């Protein structure tokens, strides 16, 4: 596999060999971020201020596995020898007693023994919120075309002014949802959260539709019509708007409300309608709670991350409309291209120090098709989803 060649020992001409790996082991998904140096060294390595070469060029790669299938992830790490480099070091200093990986998320605690037992690797734990913030700040400052708005089906990239980034609200929608007010590098407070998140969508959706995968459930929602099961304002108001309080007849008055009066069984509803109602209910709720928290602290910008989003148009549209509606256009919902990898990126950066200065992004480059992560078979490509088929070209400097 072409991709794996980057991890072969490259003895004579290139003395520095890095394959640094960091993990975010969440309630639903394990995220991996790893660095591979350029095998062909097609560019000059980065130089310090006096022109001495002090780093390496390479690529950041992204992969994910279901946490329930953690053994596939262990196999992937082992087969690709991702742990060989450990931290950032000269190859000659790479000794077995330094076999550790930076890891964040609850699973860094839960699966610590498993990693030791199966791979003889110690997980060096990094705090989950620290990592989310570090990852978000890094992407917002360093990566091109990272943040975008989504309104009326249109994706628009936002140019981030580094001097005017803070404060902002970071909403990470994983299994559960964390809302974090970010005031600077390492300066943040987790101000709120909700247990109604991605795990709720997938968990309830699985029970109600018998879908076998998250992607199937998400795909179903494309074809569904939530009016079949949600009670709209118009259903209550005889087809009319309740204009006095600003509610149009098509606004959802009660999610899943029709299930009470319809006198139907679960089987009488189409799975696609259920999926759509569920997605709408959860996205709307998160959008609304996010807005309320932004309002609490006077924040105008809300960045949404986490793998619940999956670059899915209906999800983003619902969240963006909720924020726009409740804030009367004052607050802006923005989404991140590397949505689900914030924590893993933060753990990756924490190898050096909490500083972002050692990692410099050159540009995002799509990997050639044959260099994608074919071993990551858990995930089908959904349109717009970063699925391990892209990498960031970057340079790492020695501290």
Ligand X SMILES: CC(C)(CO)[C@@H](O)C(=O)NCCC(=O)O
Ligand Y SMILES: Nc1ncnc2c1ncn2[C@@H]1O[C@H](COP(=O)(O)OP(=O)(O)OP(=O)(O)O)[C@@H](O)[C@H]1O
Binding site for ligand Y (CB under 6 A): 26-29, 66, 105-106, 174-176, 198-199, 201-202, 214-215, 306-308, 310, 340, 379
**Least CB distance from residue 350 to ligand X, whole Å?**
17
Nearer Cβ to ligand X (172/395): 172
Q: How far apart are CA 155 and CA 148, in angstroms?
A: 6
- In the complex with ligand Y, the residue whose CB is nearer, 269 or 379, is 379
Give 32 or 56: the residue with its C-beta nearer to ligand X: 32
Min dist CB 30 to ligand Y, Å, is 8
Q: Please, what is the minimum distance in Å from the beta carbon of residue 342 to ligand Y?
A: 8
With CB under 6 A as the rule, give the number of residues binding ligand X: 12
178 near ligand X, rule: CB under 6 A: yes
- What is the pattern of x (binds ligand X, CB under 6 A) and - over residues 128-157? x-----------------------------
Cα 143 from Cα 279, distance rounded (Å)? 29
Please give the structure tokens belonging to residue 364: 């995002």
Question: 214 is in the binding site of which of ligand X, ligand Y, none (Cβ under 5 to 8 A by kind)?
Answer: ligand Y
Task: Select from 46, 87, 167, 193 the one that contacts ligand X (CB under 6 A).
Answer: 193
CA pair distance 135, 207, nearest whole angstrom = 33
Q: 195, 261, 263, 370: which one contacts ligand X (CB under 6 A)?
A: 195
Q: Which does 195 bind (CB under 5 to 8 A by kind): ligand X, ligand Y, none?
A: ligand X
Q: What angle do CA 41, 42, 44 make, to 5 degrees?
A: 75
Closest Cα to residue 395, out of 16, 25, 45, 10? Answer: 45
Contacts of 380 (CB under 8 A, 6+ apart): 213, 215
Indicate which of ligand X, ligand Y, none lies near residue 194 (CB less than 5 to 8 Å, by partner kind): ligand X
Q: Which does 193 bind (CB under 5 to 8 A by kind): ligand Y, ligand X, none?
A: ligand X
Residues in 32-61 at the binding interface with ligand X, rule: CB under 6 A: none
- Give the residue with the Cβ less far from ligand X, 135 or 176: 176
Q: Which residues pair with 22 in a beta bridge?
A: 33, 102
CB 47, min distance to ligand X, A: 40
Dist. CA 24–CA 108, nearest whole Å:
7
- Measured from the CB atom, is 103 or 394 closer to ligand Y? 103
In this structure, the number of other CB atoms found within 10 A of the CB of residue 43 comes to 12
Stretch in the footprint of ligand X (CB under 6 A) among 79-87, 161-169, 176-184, 315-323: 176-184
Q: Is 86 or 311 the residue whose CB approaches ligand Y more closely?
A: 311
| Integer Cα distance of 307 and 167 in angstroms | 23
Cα(136)–Cα(167) distance, integer angstroms: 13
45: partner contacted, choices ligand X, ligand Y, none (Cβ within 5-8 A by kind)? none
Q: Determine which residue in the list 27, 46, 87, 257 makes contact with ligand X, applying CB under 6 A.
A: 27
CB atoms within 10 A of CB 392: 24
Report H helices in the chain. 70-79, 107-110, 112-119, 128-142, 198-209, 214-223, 233-236, 258-261, 271-297, 313-326, 342-349
- Going by the DSSP 8-state scheme, the letter that residue 380 receives in this structure is P
| 361, two tokens | 């992004």
Q: How far is CA 74 from CA 82, 111, 114, 177, 388, in A?
A: 10, 11, 9, 27, 17
Question: If contact means CB under 5 to 8 A according to the sort of partner, which of ligand X, ligand Y, none does residue 93 touch?
Answer: none
* Nearest residue (beta carbon) to ligand Y: 26
Of 106 and 167, nearer to ligand X (C-beta) is 106
> Residues interacting with ligand X, by CB under 6 A?
26-27, 106, 128, 174-178, 193-195
């Amino acid at each position: 596999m072409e991709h794996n060649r980057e991890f072969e020992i490259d003895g004579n001409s290139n003395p520095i060999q890095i394959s640094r790996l960091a993990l975010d082991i969440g309630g639903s998904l394990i995220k991996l971020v790893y660095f591979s140096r350029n095998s062909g060294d097609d560019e000059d390595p980065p130089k310090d201020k006096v022109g001495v070469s002090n780093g390496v060029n390479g690529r950041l790669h992204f992969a994910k596995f279901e946490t329930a299938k953690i053994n596939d992830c262990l196999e992937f790490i082992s087969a690709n020898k991702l742990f060989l480099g450990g931290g950032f070091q000269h190859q000659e200093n790479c000794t077995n007693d330094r076999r550790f990986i930076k890891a964040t998320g609850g699973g860094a605690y839960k699966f610590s023994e498993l990693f030791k037992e199966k791979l003889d690797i110690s997980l060096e734990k990094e705090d989950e919120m620290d990592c989310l913030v570090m990852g978000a700040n890094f992407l917002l400052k360093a990566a091109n075309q990272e943040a975008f708005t989504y309104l009326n089906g249109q994706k628009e990239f936002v140019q981030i002014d580094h001097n005017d980034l803070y404060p902002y609200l970071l909403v990470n929608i994983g299994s559960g949802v964390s809302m974090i007010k970010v005031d600077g590098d390492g300066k943040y407070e987790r101000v709120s959260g909700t247990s109604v998140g991605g795990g709720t969508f997938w968990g309830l959706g699985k029970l109600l539709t018998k879908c076998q995968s998250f992607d199937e459930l998400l795909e179903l929602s494309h074809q569904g019509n939530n009016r079949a099961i949600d009670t709209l304002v118009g259903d209550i108001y005889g087809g009319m708007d309740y204009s006095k309080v600003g509610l149009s007849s098509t606004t959802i008055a009660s999610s899943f409300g029709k299930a009470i009066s319809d006198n139907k069984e679960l089987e009488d509803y189409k799975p696609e309608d259920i999926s759509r109602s569920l997605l709408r209910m959860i996205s709307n709720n998160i959008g609304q709670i996010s807005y309320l928290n932004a309002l609490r602290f006077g924040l105008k910008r809300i960045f949404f991350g986490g793998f619940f989003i999956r670059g899915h148009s209906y999800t983003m549209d619902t969240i963006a409309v909720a924020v726009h509606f409740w804030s009367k256009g004052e607050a802006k919902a923005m989404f991140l291209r590397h949505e689900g990898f914030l924590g893993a990126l933060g753990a990756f950066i924490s190898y050096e120090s909490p500083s972002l200065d050692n990692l410099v992004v050159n540009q995002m480059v799509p990997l050639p098709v044959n260099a994608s992560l074919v071993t990551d078979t858990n995930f089908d490509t959904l349109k717009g989803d970063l699925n391990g088929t892209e990498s960031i070209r970057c340079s790492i400097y020695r501290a």
